[in-house]
Chains A and B, each alone.
Chain A
Amino acid sequence: MGKLYAVIGREFGERVRSRWFLLTTLFGPFLFAAFTLGPPWLAFRSARSVDISAVVIVDATGQQAGAGVATELTGGLMGTARAPKVITTSAASAAHTLDSLRIDVAADRLPGVAYLSATSIESGAVSMLLSSSAPIATSERLQKAIERELLRQRVAAAGLDAESALKLAQVRVALKVERVMRDGRTGSAQVNLIFGAGVAVLLYIVIVLYGQIVLRSVTEEKQSRVSELVLASVSPRILLSGKVLGIGGVALVQLGFWTASMVTLMTNRGRILSALGVASSSMTLPSVSWTDLIPLLAYFLLGYVLYAALFAAVGSIVSSEQEAQQAQTPVLMLLVGSVALLQPALADPDGPIARTLSLVPFSSPIIMPLRLGLVAVPTSELAVSLGLLSLLAAGAMVAAGRLYRTALLMYGKRPSIREIIRWIRLDG
């Protein structure tokens, strides 16, 4: 047992102490923060950067609509302190005014000009000149302000009470979809979708990342001939399990840190955004209880063990890292294949594709967590899936351990499939 701990301790200790670990661990939340906070903040920034007060409104309506729009544009969350300049003209002299303004816009002295013609209130047709450097958000904000002003003008023309008319006009349907599961559990459909896909992708990333680390670790040991030294002291089984467990521990620590930071980030998203001055709501996380997490953890651990054993087997039969890159392709294909089928599984999480994939041990660690997030999977199906995965993972470890002893001492030519099978069977 002491020797197993020694192997685990080395694999874990050396990796956690490495700069690589520190960087990737910290980079994860950073990347995630960039994804969740970045887009709303950037959108807000670009909207704010428009100096709307520099826009000139040419009003030929004869009904002070231009002044109304200017008032609309001032005040409010994104409003400017200064009202934009309004030039009131007659329909006849409008063309001349616009021509001179067009020169200013072309020379980039003015960000934009909006022209309300005499028929604008009636038809809703408004033309706008925008300078080449002005952001497109300028026109969007003007459009909204003009829409509100035109509505007020029309309501007033019809002799209605402006306030109540505005209220009537503002019909907006807030559709909140709630998916009801077979077991009565409820949750926001969209959030569950994001959560399920997120877990699946995260598991995929961690399995690929750490499977590769196992692969590299084995190749390195073989290439530097350390394996011969170590195998003279411990059995191949202990070396392999120590390696898989030690690196798995690193994966768990990193995954734990990432998950914790993501949950913190998501629950505080609104608060962080508002601190940055961006109006947004916190995203409600799906209510996940500990009992929901147990199968996820089981799938992660078993899936990792299965693929780590496969990667270790690949690492033991090759002689160099370049060779390892080629030889790992079949294992990677299994993983990539599972992710490629994520789309159909997402579209119909209870369909035949998703159900089959969640039973096949090579894809179940990725597809089943996805399904668990979306639909209620029958316990029997979950049990069969986990059982198959456990069997294959254990089998892969045993086979890799047997292959290990022979393959680690064979340098040079890569063995053929038949030789590999012989080595696995031979070392009983």
Chain B
Amino acid sequence: MEHVRKAYANHLAVRDVSLLVPKGTVYGLLGPNGAGKTTTIRMILNLMVPDTGHIEVLGRPAGDPAVSDRVGYLPEERGLYRKMEVRRVLRFLGRLKGLQTKEADKRIDLWLDRMGLRTATQDWGNAKVEDLSRGMQQKVQFIGTMLHEPEVVILDEPFSGLDPVNAQVLKDTVLDLRREGRTVIFSTHLMDNAERMCDAVAIIARGEVVADGALNALKKQYGGPGRVSIEFAGNGRDRARAVLENTALVSGFDDHGQRVEVDLAVGATSQQLLSQLVTHDVEIVKFDRSEASLHRIFLERVAATGVEAGLSGNG
């Protein structure tokens, strides 16, 4: 999508967003609440028309009926026809994606088995949606998203409201999808999940992309010189004082007492830091050089654009 802009009556939801999602990757759309993630997704799905800009999905303009059959969508606000039987809802959703009833029925059974909604003793497919637990309803909705074997799967906040077990099931399924060569786009404010699952991400804040690209590249670009976590023993903490206050080596640190998180200064390496500590005869239990986490990049990038509210979500 290129230079897409969307304004509502009294606020600008998406200011200027350009994204390129490579085929066959898991792509994370990250941003604090109200950043414009859902609006962006809705425009990709042609649920909303952008005021300006251009969106292409699978090489066709968004909203092309031929494209919508190749895309699966799981909305953030989940809902199904409560009074309908599960199997009928799924058949309906399948038919909306151009599936024949027979084919849809076959796949519904497969998916019900896979999601544990059909066992030897109980077939939830014949139950009404309203009789299902919330977790089961979410599974049904997920089946509805996947039934037509979409090439592009768009999940809006898929982890919200999931218990740890179901969250794990979802993660595994997303990775399965990538293995099958499908493209997955999902939005989240949970950096943990994004870091573990995504090949590439875009960070959106205030309706703008503040960082995007492959995860490794992003870390390299925004990660800075690096961060080191040091755990002292004995009076190591006191002996290290001189080293930690050396601005040529250390740009700043978080003090936790016997443990400090050190941000290296530009040009300094962890190697130099370690040798200085050894020179000062500091007793060290642990010296851990970590990559910049996505979480930190996120906080920094979002803060850089001056978003004050809802900074990290609950990431």
Contacts and interface: CB of A to CB of B under 8 A. Distances in A.
Contacts, number: 70
A283 interface: no
A419 B9 contact: yes
Contacts of B46: 232
A224 B83 CA distance: 11
A224 B96 contact: no
B47 interface: yes
Nearest to B78: A225
Interface in A222-257: 223-226, 228-235
B292 to A, nearest CB: 36
Contacts of B82: 224
A276 interface: no
Interface in B1-27: 9
A235 B84 CA distance: 22
Of the candidates A10, A220, A221, A405, the one having the most CB atoms from chain B within 10 angstroms of its own CB is A10
Contacts of A419: 9
Interface stretch (B69-77, B209-217, B247-255, B267-275): B69-77
Interface string A200-227: 0000000000000000000011011110
Interface string B61-105: 000010011010101011111111000100011011110000000
B112 interface: no
B307 interface: no
A113 B47 CA distance: 84
B92 A224 contact: no
A43 B212 CA distance: 85
Contact of B79 (A7, A229, A235, A427): A229
Of the four ranges (under 10, 10 to 19, 20 to 34, 35 or more), the interface on chain A belongs to 20 to 34
Contacts of B69: 233
A409 B82 CA distance: 19
Contacts of B95: 2-3, 5-6, 9
B73 A232 contact: yes
Contact of A226 (B9, B65, B79, B88): B79
B83 A232 contact: no
A223 B83 CA distance: 14
Contact of B98 (A2, A9, A229, A235): A2
Interface in B226-256: none
A233 B79 contact: no
B45 interface: yes
Interface of A: 2-3, 5-7, 9-10, 13-14, 18, 220-221, 223-226, 228-235, 405-406, 409, 419, 427
14 contacts: A2-B95, A3-B98, A10-B92, A224-B79, A224-B80, A229-B73, A229-B79, A230-B96, A231-B47, A232-B47, A232-B71, A409-B47, A409-B48, A419-B9
